[in-house]
Amino acid sequence: MTDNPIQLVGLIGWPLEHSVSPAMHNAAFDALGLNWRYTLLPTPPGRVKAALTDLKAQGYRGANVTVPHKQVVMPHLDEITGAARDIGAVNTIVVQEGRLIGHNTDGDGFLAALREAGFAPAGRRALVLGAGGAARAVVYALAQAGCAVTIHNRTVQRAAQLAHHMQRIGVHAPVTWVPITATLAELNLARFDLLVNATPVGMWPHTDASPWPETLPLPSHWTVFDLVYNPAETQLLVQARAAGATAVCGLGMLVHQGALAFTRWTSHSPPIEVMRVAAENALKH
Give the model confidence (pLDDT) of 152-192 as tens digits: 999 999 999 999 999 999 999 999 999 876 789 899 999 99
Beta pairing, strands 62-65 & 7-13: parallel
Please indicate, yes or no, whether residues 116 and 245 belong to a single structural domain of this protein.
yes
Domain count, the chain: 2
pLDDT score, position 4:
77
Query: Residue 71, exposed/middle/buried by CB under 10 A (0-12, 13-18, 19+)?
Result: middle
Please indicate, yes or no, whether residues 214 and 139 belong to a single structural domain of this protein.
yes
Whether 1 shows a pLDDT value over 60: the answer reads: no
> pLDDT, tens digit, for every residue of 48-62?
999 999 999 999 999
pLDDT score, position 180:
73
Q: Among this protein's residues, is 284 annotated catalytic?
A: no
Is residue 50 assigned to a domain? yes
E strand or H helix at 55: helix 48-57
Whether 133 shows a pLDDT value over 90: the answer reads: no
Please indicate, yes or no, whether residues 125 and 76 belong to a single structural domain of this protein.
no
Please indicate, yes or no, whether residues 45 and 144 belong to a single structural domain of this protein.
no
**Average pLDDT over the chain, rounded to an integer:** 96
Enclosing domain of residue 23: 7-104+257-284
Please indicate, yes or no, whether residues 13 and 60 belong to a single structural domain of this protein.
yes
Give residue 3's pLDDT band: very low, low, confident or very high (50, 70, 90): low
Please indicate, yes or no, whether residues 140 and 245 belong to a single structural domain of this protein.
yes
pLDDT score, position 285:
77
Query: Is residue 92 a contact partner of residue 264, using CB atoms and an 8 Å limit?
Result: yes
Degrees to nearest 5, angle at CA 248 with 244 and 251: 160
Please indicate, yes or no, whether residues 55 and 137 belong to a single structural domain of this protein.
no
> pLDDT, tens digit, for every residue of 223-281?
999 999 999 999 999 999 999 999 999 999 999 999 999 999 999 999 999 999 999 99
Please indicate, yes or no, whether residues 70 and 126 belong to a single structural domain of this protein.
no
Degrees to nearest 5, angle at CA 119 with 82 and 81: 5
Please indicate, yes or no, whether residues 16 and 142 belong to a single structural domain of this protein.
no
pLDDT score, position 183:
84
Percent of the chain's residues with pLDDT above 90: 94
Average pLDDT over residues 118-145: 97
pLDDT score, position 121:
99
